[in-house]
Every structure is written in structure tokens, then in C-alpha cells.
Structure 1
Amino acid sequence: MRNFLIFLTLIWCSAAAAVPVRIKDIADFDGVRGNDLVGYGLVVGLDGTGDGLRNAPFTEEMLAGLLERLGTNVTDDAMRSKNVAAVIVTATLPPFARSGSRIDVSVSTIGDAESLLGGTLVMTPLKAADGNIYAVAQGSIIAGGVSVTGEASRVVEGVPTGGTIPVGARVEREVEFDFAEVQNIRIALRNADFTTATRIEDAINRDFSKRLAITQDSGTVIVEFQNLGEVNPARVVGRIENLMVEPEDRAKVVIDHKAGTIVMGERVRISRVAVSQGNLTLTVSEAPLVSQPNPFSDGETVTVPRTFAEVREEPGIGFAEVVDNASLSQLVEGLNALGVRPRDMIDILKSIHAAGALHADLIVQ
């Protein structure tokens, strides 16, 4: 097959200006954060889809302990129920949550239960990393799927072994944090960048007409409240978090090889490079010959191997030349015009990055 040369000329265009966003959308305030909670409990009321008590001894022990606390003594031989499942309960305690407020919880099985559909979580204490109980969960579970089992087959839709309980936990203990006594607060950027940090500092100082903010590093800006005199820190933070800044970020290309997805940033640039791509298909098949002797003779059957091999090269894109300082979106647009398939495009981008011509962080998932 004769190779052919294709020149793809891409015209460089300037990147679009960054869109201003609120500080609260790109950064977190020190101390204003949630706390993870976890608990271990029982789900009852299942329609025969719970744990096998002999296969999950922890479920049996917990069920016996629960019944004993309720005043019922049941021997191990009497417990054969398939309507109970042991679960792990997780939740996030929001910042400044007060006693009596309610939060959502997630429930997941840890035994061999088939489904939590129709189950009810029995009162389960939720603990934080310090070992203290901060909330108690209980309520009906909304399962995330359906499971149907027959004599010879089983059909599962979604994940029936996990579910949620909206507002299923009540906060019993508050996290001690007196925000009114704070003298300074740190603003932590979710994507550390020196340019973005300095822009946040300039926006705060310009809005208050005082030097309140100081950039500590690429991910932290410190705001001092002392220069404002007697103020309410909550009001100051509420004013700061709504200031608009233009964030900067590193050029990135994210590739999901399994799904064939490419996500790119507008700041990605490519140096001058030539690209060639083609598909080579190798086919090998076996068709042995069998030689048999005549009837009633003393001969023996002989098998003669026979192999067919074929190499077929499918048309590719030939060579595509990318001019200097071209954007990735221009390259992808040009390759699309040449009929390059998405998965082939992923291989091309990886090869361009390996050649040092793709100026961006390449993240392959």
C-alpha cells in the first residue's frame, strides 16, 4: 500500500480569558469543614435477603446482643432469620451543626446480604475519629437497586446492597469551635497555584482598602482580623467568600482509556510535531489436513498441520503536521476531520506527550 502525505495546518488562537468565580467556589476556610462519622448497626425487615447467620457470625452476635438489651434471651439454635443484615453506616457532620439537627446517612452491607430493599436501620450510634458519639442514625432505607433471584438465574439492577436514609441521623454532640473568637483565618485553595493565591490576596485587600490578606504559599492565604478592630469574623468571611477572582490552573489532559473519553484544558499547547497513525491486523488460522488409511488396511491416521497467516494494513491518517504553539482543541478538531477514531486519538495524544511536544500534565485513568 502506497503511503501518502497529509499536511494539517492549524492556526493558533489566543486562549479565552479566565472566567471570574467566587472565592468560596475555589477555596475552603480553615475550621469551616465537616467531620466524617461511622457506625456499625443492624438492618431489619428484609424480605429474606439478609445475612446468613451461619455465614456471618458477627450478625448473629449483634442480633443476640440487641435482643438481650431489649429483654429477650434467644439461644443460637433459635436464630435462623434471613431478614437481618449487618451494615456500616457513614455520614458527614456539617460545620457548625447543632444538637437536634438532622443529617443524611449512607448504609452498606458487610455480610452476604443480597439486598437492603425494604429494610429499616435500628438505632446506630455514629462516632468520629476521636471515638466520641456525635449522632445517632435510624430509619427506613432507600436502596439503590433491585435484585431478582430465580431457580436458575439472578438479575441485579444497580447496587441493592447499599442505600441511604435522608435526614436519617440526629446530631447529639456539637464540635467545639468558637468562630467569634478567631483572630485570623486561613484560606486553603483546592488547586494550589501562586497566581491564584496572589489574586485572592489582592482582591481582599482592595475590597477592604486595608492590608488584611497575606499569601503564605501557593495553597494558603492568611486573613488577619486585627486591622479591622471590633468586627464579627462571620460577617467578614461572608464578605470575603463572595469576592470574584480569575483562577489560574495548570494545563491538563485527562484520558479515560476504558471509556474512550478525553478531557482537556484550554491552556494546553503543542509544539511542532508530525503525526502518523495506521492499523496493522494480523490474522492466523489453523486448518489441519487428516489422512486416513484405506478400510481394513494396516495403516494409521495422520494429521498434517496447515496454517494460514495474513497481514493486512488498514489505511491510516498518514502524516499530519502540527504547527508550533497549536492548541489541543485544534489538533483534535483536525484529527476528527481526518476520521481518526477516539481510541486512536488517545494513543496519538499519549505518543505526542512521550515525544515531549504536549505541554500539559497527562493524566491517564
Structure 2
Amino acid sequence: MTPTSQDLRVAVVGAGMMGADHVARITSTISGARVVAVVDPDTARATAAAATAPGAVTAADFEEALATTEIDAVIIATPGFLHEAVLMPALERGLAILCEKPLTTDEAASLRVLEAEQKLDRPHIQVGFMRRFDQGYQDLRALVASGDNGALLALHCAHRNATTPPSYSEEMLILDSVIHEIDAVPFIAGEPIVAVEVKKPRRNSLAPDGLRDPQFVLLETASGTLAVVEINVNIQFGYQVTTDAVFESGVASIGRETGLQLTSAGRAGVAVPPSFKERFGAAYDTQVQRWVDAAHRGTIDGPSAWDGYLASVVATAGVEAQKSGRRVEVDYAMAKPAFYDLDARADAVPSEA
């Protein structure tokens, strides 16, 4: 894309796989924005990501980038426990913010972010729950809302990765992976999650030492719809995310591979995406473009910090359930503030606790 003086000047904080992908996306695919700074304490990683964005500078931390570069907006792609440290100064500057999931890794931090944002004139934070922008998820949500097949009774969700690094912890199964389903289930069902339970089957010996993988997370909604989430992150064959919705009079499925099907030498099969970038690439493109367009209008167009807070509360309950083996009820600290009353937004969901 050819940069213009009217482009949104974006800093990308975090130059790992997700951050580098966003830098390349904005440079090659997104209109109305350009990357002006890449922030990462790893100089080599920041330099490599910035090389895909002509004119972008690098910085070791966000404060350095703010002090040396004109910035209108920020994409936060650091690990979740580091999000609050970037969100707070970004809010103080009134920047447009796209924060990758999770908003924060605990309820208390999310509440602090909500409090800080509500000091502004309007919401500035959009949370990167990109599955809401995937066509399959949108179609499934519309089918539930239509009532054509009766009530939604249950969801079977699978979230599978080929491998994880040795540093991947058991809590990360909930906080970094199942957090997507924690947002997607209310999005599809149109109602909040009220309880969480975690079951642990036989351990996969191929998982890193100390990681109990796979696990099954049971999410219960207000009406009694039960979502069973298989989180299975060392399954070796690739990246796979699927959802089967069970209705009173039918079953709908999304996420099954629809590419080339090959039958040869007595076997039949389809290709499996190697990573999230291939599976949800179109959803990421749509999400970022809508965020940029909304920032130019002075608004957001996607999940808000309130949605991020709701997910953080459920994830906190999920970690407790993971440790205790008990069913844990979800206790939301507040009703939805009028500040976040964005129900006219295309992707808004009824999320009152």
C-alpha cells in the first residue's frame, strides 16, 4: 500500500509471530494505515519485523516509541500479562487501540483498564477476538439467532495446535488458548457464560514435561447450553479449530477443512493448516481493516474492553476450575456500564451478567 499523510500512524508493540504478522498485514493488505514503529526489547526481532514496513523505526519499549514518534494508534501483540502496561499509557494518550487477546490475564487488571478507559469520552479499545470476523462463526451465530432449527442445546468445540514450546504452562491452556472459545461461545449463543468446569483425560506423552494436555473445558451459558471445548495443543498434525452446534432439530458444523481432498494409495485426506495465520487469515484482515476504518471515524468496530473483561472473568474462573477440579460459577463484578452500550454494533452480543 502507498502511504499517505492521512494514514493512521500505527505502533505495533510485540514483534513475535503475531506482531510481525500484523506489521506485514498493515503494509501489504490494509488501507488507511501504516506502521511507523515496531516495539520489542529483542532488537533483532524488532528490526526483522520493521523491515517489512518501509520507514518504520524500532524501539525497545512503548514509552520510547511515544517519546520519539508521532503515533495515532497501537496494536498490542505482547504476551497477555504485559498488556496492561501498554494499555494504560495508550489510553492516557487517547490512542486508538487494538489489543490482542486476552485484554489482561486476570479480572482485577481488566477492571483497572475499564476504569481508566471510562475516563475518556468514548471506548478506545478493541480486543482481538478475531473469530467474530470469521464467516463461519458469523453464519453459525445467525443460524442460532434465526431459530430455524429450534434452540441451541450444545456446542462441541475443538482447539488443536501441533506443538507448544517448553515454556507453555497449564494456565495458558485457558488464558491464551481457550480464551477464544470463552469469547466465541457467548458470541454464538447470544448469552453469557455462568459456570466453568475442567476435566483432564490421560496425558499426551508428546506434550512438554509438566504440561497436562489435552483438557476438556465445559462452559455453561445462562439458559443451560453446554459448550464442551477440547483444548489439545500437542497433537502434531497442524492447527485445527472446529465447532459443532447441536440444535433441537439439526446439527451445524464449521471449521472443517474445505480445501483439496486427495484419495490415493488406499487413503483419503485433506490438508490441515499449519498455523492460525492460514486458518484465520481472512478474519484477521477483516478485523484490522474494520479497526482502522473505525479509528478514522473516532470509534471501534469489534469486541470492546467490556467484552475483554467478561472473558477475563470467565478465564479466571476457568483457571480456578482447572486447579480445583470443581465446577466454578462465574461472578461478574458489575453490570455493563452505559459507556459500553454499543448494542447497535454488528457484532455486539447480549452480555449482561
What's the TM-score once normalised by structure 2's chain length? 0.20
Bigger share in helix: 2
Computing the radius of gyration over CA atoms, which structure comes out larger, 1 or 2? 1
What's the TM-score once normalised by structure 1's chain length? 0.20
